Amino acid sequence: MNFDYASTGFMLLATSLVMFMTPGLAFFYGGLVGRKHVLTIMFQSFVSLGITTILWVSVGYSMCFSGSYGNGDILGIIGNFDLAFLNGIHLTDPSPANPSVPILVFVAYQMMFAIITPALITGAFANRVRFPAYLIFLIVWQVFVYFPFVHMVWGGGIMAFWGIKDFAGGIVVHATAGVAALASVIYIGKRRVSDKGMHSIPLVALGTGILWFGWYGFNAGSEFGVDPITTLAFLNTDIAASFAGPTWLLLDWIFTRKPKFLGFLTGSVAGLACITPAAGYVSTQSAVIIGVLASVACYIAVYVKNRAGLDDALDVFGVHGVGGILGVILLGVFGTTAMTFEGRDAALLASGLVDGNIGFFFKQTGAALFAGIYAFLFTIAMLWVIDKITPVRVSEQDEALGLDESEHGETAYLG
């Protein structure tokens, strides 16, 4: 046993930061919905902390990180069940991502990613989905969408074999969750009851601050240790968000004649989502471009969504889906082997168009499109099946009453 306790301590901190993002998401979404639905959407985030942990410890970790392509997994798509209930994992075993950090830290860190990913989707179908249907959705979507993509990209599966890169979750988290959100909106349909929507910008600001703070653990922690790439990913995360927020603010100011606080907050999140897959692979100069392009692309996506009449209540597809997919593609553009240091494994580098590697660009683009198409089709089919088991959508009467009271018998605000 020869563990690096500085890296281990940092990774425990990063794990805690990623965990904190789920309550941050709850506050972010809670402020964006109407007063009668606040607890419901916050509960949908918080409940993942418990349900996903149970799922992860029992089968999730094993399905993601058991075996590899051609070596004990299932067709390079999903792992096996050798590590179910963490069987065979010992206190002093090294992490597969960094042998100087204990494996239990790796188990916990990856679990926090699993917790927040399905919670992202809930913002799309706000005010419309019954809690029992959501619980089924939470479990089944992870088993058939999230876990396979974790294995394919990060667990030694077929996409890793093909050379696909995703530093911290552009494919695995944002593309899959964002497009699943779009599929959910199309299947479930519009809200039947007029809702004033956002009731508390301060709650949204609190949630954004927590998410931004936690994102340092999300991105910098994905290096899984302390080295120069850790600091690169940390700084790129902040740069992208800091350029994306003012870009959205400027766009709002131009088109609405008002500088909107909500626009700044939304743009920052778009920048964070977009830099995620590229954070440890691109230069700080590229992070500036990625942040600006993230806001422009996501702003256009939200505008098109509104014109099309799609009721993605909290713009999950427009911000996370489009931001994540764009980030994966831009990694294929700006990834460079210049972002390295002496002794770094060449297999951990990304070489894109700026390095003259057009093949990597097409691989990244294809991977992003595949992830989106699969997540979309599976989510539609899954919701149809769930609807046969228990109604997915609440009644019009319950929607009018508010899901906090009709589904949970609670209210966020007294009086």
Average pLDDT (69-76) is 95
The predicted-structure confidence for 334-346, as pLDDT tens digits, reads as follows 999 999 998 888 8
CATH T-level topology, domain 5-408: Ammonium transporter fold (1.10.3430)
% of the chain surpassing 70 pLDDT: 100
Q: Has residue 347 got a pLDDT over 90?
A: no
Query: Structural domain boundaries of the chain?
Result: 5-408
Rounded CA-CA distance 323/297 in Å is 8
pLDDT at 236 over 80: yes
pLDDT value for 1: 67
Q: What is the mean pLDDT of residues 30-49?
A: 96
Least confident range from 10-19, 92-101, 150-159, 335-344: namely 335-344
Averaged over 1-11, what is the pLDDT? Answer: 93
Q: pLDDT tens digits, residue range 105-155?
A: 999 999 999 999 999 999 999 999 999 999 999 999 999 999 999 999 999
**pLDDT over 70 at 27, yes or no:** yes
pLDDT per position as a tens digit, 151-169: 999 999 999 999 999 999 9
3-state SS string for the chain: CCCCHHHHHHHHHHHHHHHHHHHHHHHHHHHHCCHHHHHHHHHHHHHHHHHHHHHHHHHHHHHHHCCECCEECECCCECCCCCHHHCCCCCCCECCCCCCCEHHHHHHHHHHHHHHHHHHHCCCCCCCECHHHHHHHHHHHHHHHHHHHHHHHCCCCHHHHCCCCCCCCHHHHHHHHHHHHHHHHHHHCCCCCCCCCCCCHHHHHHHHHHHHHHHHHHHHHHHCCCCHHHHHHHHHHHHHHHHHHHHHHHHHHHHHCCCCHHHHHHHHHHHHHHHHHHCCCCCHHHHHHHHHHHHHHHHHHHHHHHHHCCCCCCCHHHHHHHHHHHHHHHHHHHCCCCCCCCCCCHHHCCCCHHHCCHHHHHHHHHHHHHHHHHHHHHHHHHHHHHHHHCCCECCHHHHHHCHHHHHHCCCCCCC
In the predicted structure, residue 38 carries a pLDDT above the cut 90 = yes
Mean of the pLDDT values across residues 44-62?
Answer: 98
Put simply, whether the predicted model's pTM sits higher than 0.85 gets the answer yes
Q: Structure tokens of 128?
A: 């419309």
Give the pLDDT confidence score for residue 415 in this predicted structure. Answer: 59
pLDDT confidence of residue 346: 85
Predicted pLDDT of residue 125:
94
pLDDT, residue 343, reads 83
Return the residue matching tokens 């779009």.
Answer: 182
* Residue pointed to by tokens 């494994």: 345
CA terminus-to-terminus distance, the chain: 59
Under the phi-then-psi rule, with left for phi > 0, alpha for psi from -120 to 50, and beta for the rest, what region is 169?
A: left
User: Span 164-191, mean pLDDT?
Assistant: 97
For 363-406, how does the pLDDT look when each residue is reduced to its tens digit (9 = 90+)?
999 999 999 999 999 999 999 999 999 999 999 999 999 999 99
pLDDT at residue 414, as a whole number: 79
Range in 85-99, 208-222, 285-299, 339-353 with the lowest mean pLDDT: 339-353
pLDDT of 308 strictly over 90: yes
What pLDDT is recorded for position 57?
98
Which of 31, 42, 28 shows the shortest CA–CA distance to 403?
A: 42
Q: Give dist(CA 169, CA 187) in Å, integer.
A: 25
Residue among 9, 63, 321 at smallest CA distance from 179: 321
* Percent of residues, the chain, with pLDDT higher than 90: 95
Mean pLDDT of the chain: 96
In the predicted structure, residue 292 carries a pLDDT above the cut 80: yes
**Which amino acid is located at 290 in the chain?**
I
Q: Could you report the per-residue pLDDT of 199-218, keeping only the tens digit for each?
A: 999 999 999 999 999 999 99
| Cα within 13 Å of Cα(180), Cβ side | 30
* Spatial separation of the C-alpha atoms in residues 70 and 205, rounded to whole Å: 47
pLDDT beyond 90 at 170: yes
19 HSE (CA, 13 A, CB side): 14
Query: Looking at the predicted structure, is the pLDDT value of residue 13 above 80?
Result: yes
Rounded to whole angstroms, the Cα distance separating 136 from 191 reads: 21
The predicted pLDDT at position 391 comes to 97
Q: Are 190 and 311 in contact (CB under 8 A)?
A: yes
**312-315 long-range contacts, CB within 8 A, separation 24+:** 312/123, 312/124, 312/181, 312/182, 312/185, 313/32, 313/33, 313/123, 313/124, 313/125, 313/126, 313/127, 313/191, 313/197, 314/29, 314/32, 314/33, 314/123, 314/124, 314/126, 315/123, 315/266
Name which residue leads in pLDDT, 191 or 240: 240
Written as six digits, the tokens of 190 are 């519009």
